[in-house]
Structure 1
């Protein structure tokens, strides 16, 4: 009986990643083939055995595998249960061809920090509307990959911090807080490396560029909600992908849903504060307290 693999593949909207693949295979064995792009692979379940440049390697959970472009490789499940994997296909904008040689020699990277960043990047790519966050994490992933391939055991020496770069980026983010600006666009506009932009901004303001934009949008949405605009319209007006996108970030930052805002919420709050009229009760000394007299109409 032919295998029916569970496969989800798409092209994200951010630059640098040509394709994302999530797949589970039980019997499929890849023949020798090659890609025009880098293949950044994590295995979530099972294990894969593959040949690269005449040498046998294994890919399994908690190990990051980086397969370089234009180098033939194959792949097959190690056990009958198969494997489940996630792959990012990266173009040369973050990893250039001079790193192909080191990647052929060391395709397997044992780095829990890198693995967690890749895992989070996949989550961000699966949720529409968080492109700036995905670009930020992609820049950090690429920086750590270069660190491994260039045989460094720690990140590159820190460049002297220039607060003017962070202020220029903040101005750009403020000017385009609703329509948004990609990290690639900001890098070109400010003539600064994308990774340095992220680090400079975070160091200066104590918050990443993406979280800064999200916080600004949530704050703008609060004002619109207070004025009575429905949550769906408020989400679109401040730059969120849709209402659920607003809801997620709104609750994460403020601890409650946007539905707490608006005329309906204020009315219900007043209703809770004002006691409802009840039946006549007992006053001091057990006397019956009559209800207030009805207002007399003027003659």
Structure 2
């Protein structure tokens, strides 16, 4: 396990191809403070030691040892220790496509991605199953075993704690103009664009755009752009790009700037993310 400086901090990131590709993180943090960020996929974690304090979708939460944290895809969240001795946890990062595939097999032709309403759950049996799956992913080379156990774990998560997301009425959804800006930032994360240019693109007042974007997506445009760049960086690293090239392609000013923001969102440095990659 790669040390992150102080003896109390370590993080190990692995990537598995099972069910289309799932990342796992085994981490022990003392001073780590995650910035407000989001992921394309879900985050499920079992707290092994200490207590984690985190924001999820506007609400503050505490997750003590033994509890499970549930973060939906695109949920704005952060994280830090709530105790002097830090916290340790094991996390899985499945994508919405994993649940679409599972839901199709469970209910037939109807597919959906579940919404997990509770940020923290106390489910001792599920936590035990989670730890077992994690140990198999870390140690076993048996692909059939790993995939079967992952399938069972995600199915249990969805059945025990997942709900069908209730669609908002059309008038409550993000306006087309604000959504247009989000899609642009998603599709062109490295573009060095100004607020005025984004506002002109959407035919909105710049200050209104900032307020409306933040209300709809939980982050102002400049912070969302940073998250889009980090997501793009993850993709490029998985494709085998050199880190210096990733930094440039994603629009970061320099390598140190890239490393700082990547670690604050993902929990490991870009080099650790790349080094522990499984193909």
Asked which structure has the greater RCO (Cα within 8 Å, sep 6+), the reply is: 2
TM-score by length of 1: 0.46
Under a length normalisation based on structure 2, what TM-score does the superposition of the two structures give?
A: 0.49
